[in-house]
Structure 1
Amino acid sequence: MTDPTQDPRFLQNPYPTYAAMRSRCSVQAVPTGSGGHLSYMITGYAEAREALSDPRLSKDTATFFADKGSRRRLHSAVAHSMLASDPPRHTRLRKLVTKAFTTGAVAELRPFIGRVTDELLDQWPAGERFDFVADLAVPLPVIVICELLGVPETDRPDVKRWSGELFAAGKPDVIDAASHAMADYMAHLITAKRRHPSRSLLDRLISARDGDDRLNEEELVSLAVLLLVAGHETTTNFLGNTLLALFQHPDELDRLRKTPDSVPAALDELLRFDSPVSTATFRYTTEAVTLGGTDIPAGVPVLIALGAANRDPKRFPSPDLLDLDRDATTHLSFGHGIHRCVGAPLAKAEADIAIRAVLTRFPGIRLAEPPDHLDWRRTRLVRGLASLPVLA
């Protein structure tokens, strides 16, 4: 048995592979890693949505790997993050985070997002070739989340590098080292914030209360790292995937060019069409589970392919067509259930502002390379372009 997602063509376009897998069975065993270990991959929408909210699928990564004699040395603040925890701990942490990470805070950021976007686009002389990923999709969300958390501008290049290294597929030593660098940096920043408070999100996390409950030091570091990484990595992919999808559907691109105020309503369909998160973060069965007619034994990893679920024709007819009139609000790109992404409003605000600005300021923007020549990030967890050359 071979892992179909390791085919080199998969990174370029995973959807034919997902469709072929789903046609055989919406939940099936696939080999992962070495040693003949099996995981179960979910490619059907109904099964993915069910799995995302099934309490028998644990996200307690540290416990799972502790039993396997793992030699990994992730920083404990990263290994025990909110994203890798179950209730009641997850419930407690999320409640404290949502008190600080409000929609009001995102609304207050919109003018700042707009100014940063304009400053970045000011560097694009019309008619020249640029890399949309390097020149906008990467720096915009990095600047925004660092501003939100209160990361000084001089530290942002290091933060961006460490964040990228956390997604270094097949390089566990690099990932582990980056987790320590990022966590250590955040611990120092939290100490500095206590000495010199401001109005940043990190300050609000430090002071967050739920009755007598508050975040301890490791939880603060853990949440700061999580929000920083999640706050820009997936948004970068979202922006690049969105513009490429529009290039590949010129009628829909032309529609948004003519009516840029319709961009917000189009974002859910664009998220559904090419999810910036291809596979949901790690889960494993704590007991035997049956999903989609497939029996999954206890103690095995379950890979929920969000990108595949979003292209399930049982839920979204003609799923390989980008249709901006489609009601795609039930897409799974931000997850579902108690672990749904808390940063979804920020990601959509950034995409709304950035895509509108690009189409308004550069109505003739076009792809500078054939789509099959584009370079994609080499990881199964997220789906994003390494670069997107355009002529503005």
Structure 2
Amino acid sequence: MKYQTNRKALLLLADGTIFYGKSVGNKEGTAFGEVCFNTGMTGYQEIFTDPSYYGQLMVTTNAHIGNYGGNNEETESDTVKISGLICKNFSYNYSRIRVDESLESFLDRNNLFVISDVDTRALVSYIRDNGAMNAVISTEVDDVEGLKKKLADVPNMHGLELASKVSTKEPYYFGDENASYKVAAVDLGIKKNILRNMAKRNMYIKVFPYNTPYEEMKAWNPDGFFLSNGPGDPEPLKEVIETAKNILADDMPLFGICLGHQIIALANGISTFKMHHGHRGINHPVLNHGTGKGEITSQNHGFAVNYDEASSNPDVEVTHKHLNDQTVMGLRMKNKNCFSVQYHPEAGPGPNDATYLFDEFLERMNKVSV
């Protein structure tokens, strides 16, 4: 069994609050980002590789991280996207049949700095009370003032455009080219499991860079368009908002998830706002207004759509809402072939209560093609 003697480390929040811990693997390091927490009990590898987490320091509320190792099939992008990891107990020893390597090895290959032995219960409680904010994790425990100065230069997530940091640089294809439906996907930070869910529903997807002009995507002659999840503030993405307006003007089937959902709202003149501490986990309750049923969902977002503006817009219907804080979880346009959700129906990780939304997208394209 492997044991570690770890270096002292700290987490310094932008308001000056400090939490102490130890570095994982006895490594020196420093990492900056917006601190946030995820309430999922499993799926850490999917979370760490989700592009929507780009630029964030992840706090895991599950007490044990790394206990089931790493599996190369359980990644949502090609690399780790979080800026750093903060946990209570980091497991160097793991037990699982389907395992390729230890989580430590996986994170080492991705050059991620990790601190453990932090009182994450107290930390999460503090974030819930005081909000998500910029922070730094470091082994430079004797240079707090120097870390404060560097932290002051880290840009705030509000107004920060990050989709360009994670979007593909060149178009690529996913699925069977002989599938019945072609989908043009705008990559704002797309997850692999979204592509898998589409491909197994007879869709062939061409994934385009975030700033691809509408006419270029339209030239591929797709049956529908998709706006993906992704990191950062949606408001600076003016090109993508304009693309959404062009798709809506042609009344093409359009589906948006998470950041894509926010882009669709902005294209309809509905504003977005930065949340106090966001929704991140795989156990968030959502009410489907159409069926009257509750859905347990996977979520990861720090921005949300203005509920009053959405509900008063004559062209838009609020289809889903969060049962904890009543925020907008889904939209449908009344006069266009367009719908969107704030949460993640593809899960990865999480429950599969909402995978029917991919079936709805398929049905919408089918009605147009008939």
TM-score interval for Structure 1 and Structure 2 normalised by the shorter chain: under 0.3
Report 1 or 2 for greater relative contact order, CA contacts < 8 Å, sequence distance ≥ 6.
1
Give the TM-score of the pair, scaled to structure 1: 0.25
Give the TM-score of the pair, scaled to structure 2: 0.26
Name whichever structure is richer in helix by fraction: 1
